[in-house]
Amino acid sequence: MTLAVFSAPVSPNDLETIIRIEHASFTQPWQRQAIVDELACPDAFQFVAKAAPLPCSQATAVGFIFVRLLTDEMHIMKIAVEPQWRNRGAARALLLAAQTEAMRRGSVTALLEVRSSNNAAIRFYAKSGYQTIGIRPNYYPPAGETALVMSKSLKEEP
Ligand SMILES: CC(C)(COP(=O)(O)OP(=O)(O)OC[C@H]1O[C@@H](n2cnc3c(N)ncnc32)[C@H](O)[C@@H]1OP(=O)(O)O)[C@@H](O)C(=O)NCCC(=O)NCCS
């Protein structure tokens, strides 16, 4: 089967899928209200990755990215892909779409924090051109895991 993976703005129909992916992807998932609040947050935007047998009319959400904009910085709050859809380019599609949208809105830098133990995400971001620019000790409650701060200039080629 030929598959298409592409990014699209979040619709209300995507909420339950986002909640399911969130719980499948994080040890301390955001609860429903936090996700609802994030989707309504000003100075923020979100995309879902959709995958479908061609044609794309039957596409379903398989991943999402949450972004906030602060002055000229794009902050990646979360990115996650449904486990069975990983390693097929969904996160790459989400990140590229989000970077393009953030640049359109005036962002010149992308920033994120990631758990120092999250090797998959760290490798994903490194392959996407992000560099570690600092650490934040005791960042993630309750155990106080360290966060790596990663960044990328959006003035460069994606
Ligand atoms: C990190 C995550 C979003 C990657 O999603 P994905 O859809 O599998 O990633 P992609 O298929 O788009 O991969 C893009 C690139 O990253 C690399 N990559 C992705 N996962 C990787 C892993 N586990 N180890 C090494 N490289 C990896 C891919 O090889 C690819 O590089 P390439 O283009 O050079 O081949 C996914 O593993 C996930 O949802 N993890 C749980 C949630 C999480 O930790 N989010 C990040 C913190 S907010």
- Domain spans, the chain: 3-153
Q: Is 112 in the pocket of ligand 1 (CB under 6 A)?
A: no
Q: Which pLDDT value is given to residue 155?
A: 87
User: How far away, in angstroms, is 13 Cα from ligand 1 center?
Assistant: 25
d(CA 49, CA 97) in angstroms, rounded, equals: 10
Q: Which pLDDT value is given to residue 59?
A: 80
Q: Architecture of domain 3-153 in CATH?
A: 3-Layer(aba) Sandwich (3.40)
Residues assigned a catalytic role: 113, 125
Q: Is 147 in the pocket of ligand 1 (CB under 6 A)?
A: no
Q: What average pLDDT does the structure give for the chain?
A: 92
Q: Is 121 in the pocket of ligand 1 (CB under 6 A)?
A: yes
Q: Is 11 in the pocket of ligand 1 (CB under 6 A)?
A: no
User: How far away, in angstroms, is 85 Cα from ligand 1 center?
Assistant: 10
d(CA 126, CA 123) in angstroms, rounded, equals: 5
Count Cα atoms within 13 angstroms, Cβ side, for 15. Answer: 12
User: How far away, in angstroms, is 86 Cα from ligand 1 center?
Assistant: 7
The tens digit of pLDDT for each residue in 25-84 reads 999 999 999 999 999 999 999 999 988 766 555 688 999 999 999 999 999 999 999 999
* CA dihedral of residues 64, 127, 105, 34 (deg, nearest 10): 30
